[in-house]
Every structure is written in C-alpha cells, then in structure tokens.
Amino acid sequence: MSSIPKTQKAYILTQGVEKLSLEDRPVPELKPGEVLLRVRASGLCHSDLHILDGSISLSSLCSLPASPILGHEIAGEIVAHGPNVDPDLFPTNQLYSVFGPNPCGLCSECRYGRDNLCLSPTRLIHGLGHPGGFEQYTAVNIRNLVKVPEGISPEVAAVTSDAVLTPYHALKKVYLTGLSRVLIIGLGGIGINAVQIAKAFGAHVTAFDLKESSRELARKFSADVVLDSLTVKEASHDYDVVVDVVGIQSSFEIALKQVKTYGSIVLIGLGSPVLNFFTTPLCLKETHILGTFWGTSQEQIEVFDLVKKGKIKPQVEVGKFEDLNEFFQKLKHGQIKSRVVITQTD
C-alpha cells in the first residue's frame, strides 16, 4: 500500500469558529478490524450547521474527547486493510457506505437489533465524535461497512446513509398500509425522501412546505396533495401519521392539530431544543409522539435496495471538496433545495 500518503487534507472544526479550516493531518493508522477508506463523497447535514453555529456542542454528544473532523454521510473505497481483516471479504474494487452510529454490537440495544441506539459509553459516531468524512482518508471498522449496490453513485450512496435512512426508519416505526394517510411537514433533504418512502409503502401522502421550490419537488415525486402555508390550516385533521421534519414550535402545532385521534406524530427535525403542548387535547386524542434517531445497520442495507430498485431517488446537489465552507453558507441561507454532497477525485 505504498501509494497511500502519510499526510492528508482534512477540515478541522474549532469551537466558536463557524468556518472549518483545511489543514494537513496524518492519515489514520489502522487498528485491528479497521479498513482505510478513500473518501469519495460526504453529505452536509443540518446537524453539522448546529455544531458550526454552536447551538449543539460536539462534546455533549460523546463522553470521550471528540475529533474535530465532521461529516457523517460517507461513501468511499477501501485502500488498505488493517490487522485481522480478510481482504477477500472486503474487496477494494467496491463502493462502501459507512454506518454512522458506529455501535458496539454488544450492549442490550445492539443485541435487540436497535444498533442506532447503542448504549456503549465509549462509542463515537462517525463525524460527530469519531473522525468523519470531511477528510481524504478515514478509518472505519468493518462492522460499519455497507456495500453499495452497483449503479449507485458515491454522492447518492453518501446521502442514502442518513437523509434516506432516517425517514425510512421513522416511517417503518408506524407500520404504514395502503389505507394510511400521512402528512409530511418540511420538504428539504430528508422530507422529500420521506414523501417517496411513504409512497413506496403505499400510503396516501400530503406534503407541506413554505417554499414553492420544495413543493415542486414533492409534486414531481407524486405526493397526492401538496399544501402551502395557507391551505394547511384547512387540511383534513385526519392524518394517521404526521411526520415533523422541521421540529419547531409552529410545525409541531400543525402536527398536533392535523393528527387524527389515536394517530402518531413522528419527530425527525430538531429545529428547536424545547417544544410545548397542551396536555388535555393530547390525552383526549391519545396521540402518540415518537422520537426517532437515524436508522439501524440492517435498515441501511434495506434503503440501498429501495434506491437500487428506483423506489427512492435521493436528490443531491454536488460540490467539490475545496468548496465545503461555501456550501455550508448556502445551506445556512436556505439556498439548497435538496442535499449537498461534496465529492473527491484523485
């Protein structure tokens, strides 16, 4: 593996500084069970923005010292195998996505198959504690490698590992059928995939967003009804499931009003750290409020199957590694319609 350099370029986070700095860093040394990925694509997520503007501190997400390298939607190719890794099982001529939650595999949640909720105090999420994809080379334990089916590009593979997996996991929790009526609030990078997933499950889908460009995408992906800010007040109040991809007080209040008796509100967006609600109507309707976090490693395999079959077409806007900070500014100012992915070529 003589072609692997000793140093690489990596974007470094400094607490309180909104711009990431591009620096020379050592290429990671591999521990037993790890491979070295040449990163080909990394997605930019709103949670990265929260870290950059200081509203979420990286140290609050992990008990161990956090790496300053963000990027939790990663796709790449193996360029080196660490000790105890069989190269025949993990070939180099293959694209992989990374299962970001980086679970221990041993705790009770992992053993129940809910490895997105791993309880290990020492686990570090890729790009949110563990070094992420905003570098040229990254070390990944083989248990976090998910093979990407042929024909799926690195940029689509990267976003599938979060922006598709997250709404898929959320909607699987509510067991949709062909009779289910679903309202999706917020049609950005995650919401537009939620529309496609709910349609793939056979549900009747109503999509709502304040932005016309987002509503246009929802129409393209066959939402049954598309609403703007005015008409949502007149909507039917009989949704079995309301998916709140925004997670601020006003979106949550729409969800509470529109969900039917005994229906479910699935909260994906973390737009506000606190949400308020009146207890009496909630109890009288026996509303279920479900928290949801990312997805399981098995579900990451399932979403690739859906993307491969064309049931979900993740929307991406592609940029260059060198322009990462510029794209974060665009994301911050609402100038991104779908999901930005930065790509790296040799």
| DSSP string for 296-344 | -HHHHHHHHHHHHTTS----EEEEEGGGHHHHHHHHHTT--SSEEEEE-
Report, in Å, the least distance between residue 237 CB and Zn ion: 31
Exposed e or buried b per residue across 104-140, where buried means at least 16 C-beta atoms within 10 angstroms of its C-beta: beebebbeeebbbebeeeebbbbbbbbbbbbbbbbbb
Report, in Å, the least distance between residue 170 CB and Zn ion: 13
Report, in Å, the least distance between residue 132 CB and Zn ion: 11
**Rounded (10°) CA dihedral 138, 143, 149, 153:** -20
Report, in Å, the least distance between residue 222 CB and Zn ion: 25
- What are the distances in angstroms from CA 147 to CA 13, 68, 91, 115, 299? 29, 27, 10, 18, 13
Q: Rounded to an integer, what distance in angstroms lies between the CA atom of residue 244 and that of residue 257?
A: 12
Report, in Å, the least distance between residue 109 CB and Zn ion: 6
- The sign one gets for the Cα dihedral 305, 38, 80, 99 is negative
- The sign one gets for the Cα dihedral 28, 29, 32, 34 is positive
Kindly tell me which of 181 and 339 has the beta carbon lying closer to Zn ion: 339
Kindly tell me which of 70 and 255 has the beta carbon lying closer to Zn ion: 70
Report, in Å, the least distance between residue 217 CB and Zn ion: 19
Report, in Å, the least distance between residue 127 CB and Zn ion: 8
| DSSP string for 112-126 | TT-GGG---TT--EE
Kindly tell me which of 81 and 126 has the beta carbon lying closer to Zn ion: 126
Report, in Å, the least distance between residue 147 CB and Zn ion: 21
**Rounded (10°) CA dihedral 80, 83, 88, 94:** -30
Q: What residues form DSSP beta bridges with 21? A: 12
Kindly tell me which of 111 and 219 has the beta carbon lying closer to Zn ion: 111
Q: Is residue 65 within 8 Å of residue 42, measured between CB atoms? A: no
| DSSP string for 210-237 | S-HHHHHHHHHTT-SEEE-TTGGGGS-S
Kindly tell me which of 45 and 316 has the beta carbon lying closer to Zn ion: 45
Site residues, Zn ion (CB under 5 A): 45, 47, 103-104, 107, 110, 118, 120, 162
Kindly tell me which of 282 and 318 has the beta carbon lying closer to Zn ion: 318
Q: 47 in helix, strand or coil?
A: helix
Kindly tell me which of 262 and 293 has the beta carbon lying closer to Zn ion: 293
Kindly tell me which of 48 and 240 has the beta carbon lying closer to Zn ion: 48
